[in-house]
Amino acid sequence: MTKIYAHRGASKYAPENTLPAFNLAYEMKADGIETDVQLTKDGIPILIHDENVKRTTNGTGFVQDFTFAEIRELDAGAWFSRKYKNTPILSLEELLNWIKFKPLYLNIELKNNKIDYKHLELIVFEMVKEHQLLDRTTISTFNSESVKRLKEVNQMIEVAYLTSKQNNKLVTYAEDLGANAIHVKYKLLNDKLMNESRKKDMKIRVYTINKYPSMKQCFHLGCDGIFTDVPDKALSYRIKNIGG
């Protein structure tokens, strides 16, 4: 059955990558959580999508130029709604502690395609391992070199190559990098990709699926997962159409 991952939490309804968005996704009974990780100046992995804090906080500047203590002073909720004023940016450690005893899958996207943070792969892997979450965590990235580094670090965690680019040999390419899953933009999804991925036992997940026609296609083709800002709608649609 196609699993439903809440993209940056239930990010249509609460500020992305924050505890309110994750709690809401859990209450909606999403199968998993998707989040983004970048490194602070002092090497702490935190949950934020953009390299610059400007869009989703009351601050400005690059994540890599803030210490974790400085990042914690920012408001990551007021931009979305006054209701969420003073919501802090979370560390990856806090998310792992939150998710540990919940029946949720986790997808951690390394945001290292623009800024290739040193040792990000090892830091994230070791933290996930320490929390004993390797068996239900996927680490994904658009950075092909990062996929290679992840496979050098470990053979114990699922690694997904993220892409929005057309590639007729995508499955082979991802396999050669060392990935065992592929996360694609919806426009790349087709029967050929699904058939080739099944032959190689390569999981396919699709982003970002918010509308019913695209949900229907993903469920019909049997994708392993979708990432959605509206997990409640995706779950309702899945129940109505495939009974689970």
HEC string for 101-137 = CCCCEEEEEECCCCCCCCCHHHHHHHHHHHCCCHHHE
Q: Rounded to the nearest 5°, which phi and psi values hold at 118?
A: -65, 130
SS3 145: helix
> Cα–Cα–Cα angle for 235, 31, 92, nearest 5°?
135
> Cα–Cα–Cα angle for 168, 174, 180, nearest 5°?
130
- Sign, CA dihedral 132-138-140-146, equals positive
Exactly one of 49, 119, 131, 220 is catalytic; which is it?
49
Euclidean distance between CA atoms 27 and 12, whole angstroms? 14
Token output for 2:
């196609």
119 catalytically annotated: no
7 catalytically annotated: yes
Between the alpha carbon of residue 173 and those of residues 138, 148, 149, the distances in Å are: 19, 12, 15
Residue 87 identity: T
Exactly one of 7, 131, 183, 220 is catalytic; which is it?
7
Q: Rounded to the nearest 5°, which phi and psi values hold at 100?
A: -50, -45
Give catalytic residue positions: 7, 49
